[in-house]
Amino acid sequence: MAFTAQLPLVHYADPWSIEFEERRAIILGGSPKIAYYYTRPDTSTFRYRCYNMVEALVHAEPSSSASWITADDGPKAIELIEQLDILVVCRALYSQHIAAVLARAIALGKLVVFDVDDLIFDDRYAHLIMETLDQTVDESGLQAWFGWISRCGATLRLCDRAITTNALLAERIHRFAHVPTRVIPNFLNRAQIELSDRVRRAKAASGWARDGSLHLGYFSGTPTHNRDFAIVAPALARLFEEDPRIRLRVVGFPPTSTLLDPYSDRIETIPLQDFLNLQLSIGEVEINLVPLQDNEFTNCKSELKYFEAAVVGTVTVASPSYTLKQSISHGRNGFLAYAHEWDVSLREAVAEVDAGVGEMAERAAADALERYSPESQATALRHALLTHDVGRSRD
């Protein structure tokens, strides 16, 4: 890993820290005028479904103008609605502010699009979601989660159409809200691509050299993945026992597993990273672990953990969820592992690294850049927002 250690950490500042008046001026600067609504910007869903989308729209439709509005913009956001052509509401829970924003948009006949990247709008899945995320299923938890999911669904049902990340989730949206739904997967932004290219080139220039250890990485963006990690923990423990070279890097929220306690001196835990320094951290491991439970909620999730690793030349071993099975061709650009196959797939990945992982890593990177860049999704996003669909009547 020494070659990536030579790349300095990125001095990071949120690129979306822009005052309302500047965002307003951007939106009003061209045509069509598009605003994304997100309650409060963050480094996860907002980045993928708003910030990256705006970047892609600029490429797809240079004359258009797009930016975002938030709950903190208050009445100014509501006043801006009159001058918009399209409002995209991203994963917003029904609230007093979003109700006022939507009421204004609907009264003015504006096109309103709902964007969502998870199965978190249909309360029939509330109990499944809580179990999957290892949440306490009691009266307090049920009240909170049913309320949260129902409020998201209430917002969705007020919109004219929807955009989501994969065909399975699109079908669930259509079944729930009966609105035209288009698929735009999560994808990388230009800053991620440029930094990742530097990381991957440094690795290739070194001949994919590494130190005497073999590093696996688990990159957890939320503290809700204990049950996912439990799928791979037994195989990891056996690999630790058999191969003294094995090291594990956990970035974000460490999942609990007593099976790995005997190997704690070979496990490195790093706090949650911003989205650029995360790419450096992923690039410093040889194998990226993406275990997932197999249920309707996890099968609706996106493939972002694959392509974020692929662009830095790190090979992924993943559970074959709906999207990951479509992204990864086993043995070509990564490895797939059903729950009972993690021992075998991990050993295949280790053998690939030992044999010289460059060709597989480059295939994965080329695939990710072809399918998950702003340019690759720009045309589809343009059609999703700017072409006519026969929607639901608002009578």
Of 97-101, 106-110, 376-380, the one with minimum mean pLDDT is 376-380
Classify residue 395: in a domain, yes or no.
no
Above 80 in pLDDT, residue 171? yes
Classify residue 391: in a domain, yes or no.
no
Edge-first strand order for the sheet with 315-318 is 267-270, 246-252, 214-220, 287-290, 315-318, 335-336
Tokens (6 digits) for 282? 């992923």
Read off the pLDDT of each residue in 40-50 and give the average, rounded to a whole number: 94
8 Å CB contact between 78 and 104: yes
Above 90 in pLDDT, residue 256? no
Tokens (6 digits) for 13? 């500042």
109: left (phi over 0), alpha (psi -120 to 50) or beta: left
- What CATH number corresponds to the domain at position 122? 3.40.50
Cα distance between residue 389 and residue 370, in whole Å: 28
Same domain, yes or no: 194 and 180: no
User: Could you tell me the residue range of the domain that residue 90 belongs to?
Assistant: 2-187+375-386
Same domain, yes or no: 173 and 45: yes
Same domain, yes or no: 179 and 242: no
pLDDT confidence of 51, banded at 50, 70, 90?
A: very high
Same domain, yes or no: 204 and 183: no
The total domain count for the chain is: 2
pLDDT confidence of 190, banded at 50, 70, 90?
A: very high
Same domain, yes or no: 231 and 247: yes
Classify residue 393: in a domain, yes or no.
no
Classify residue 183: in a domain, yes or no.
yes
Alpha carbon of residue 394 to chain centroid = 32
Query: How much is the mean pLDDT over the chain?
Result: 94
Closest to 299 measured CA to CA, from 329, 283, 319, 317: 319
pLDDT digits (tens, 9 = 90+) for 305-348: 999 999 999 999 999 999 999 999 999 999 999 999 999 999 99
Same domain, yes or no: 175 and 54: yes
Above 50 in pLDDT, residue 3? no
- What CATH number corresponds to the domain at position 335? 3.40.50.2000
Above 80 in pLDDT, residue 291? yes
Residue 395's pLDDT is what? 47
Residue 1's pLDDT is what? 46
Whole-Å CA distances, 240 to 4, 178, 246, 295: 24, 50, 6, 29
Residue 389's pLDDT is what? 63
Q: Is pTM beyond 0.85 here?
A: yes
Residues 6+ apart with CB under 8 A from 339: 231, 294, 319
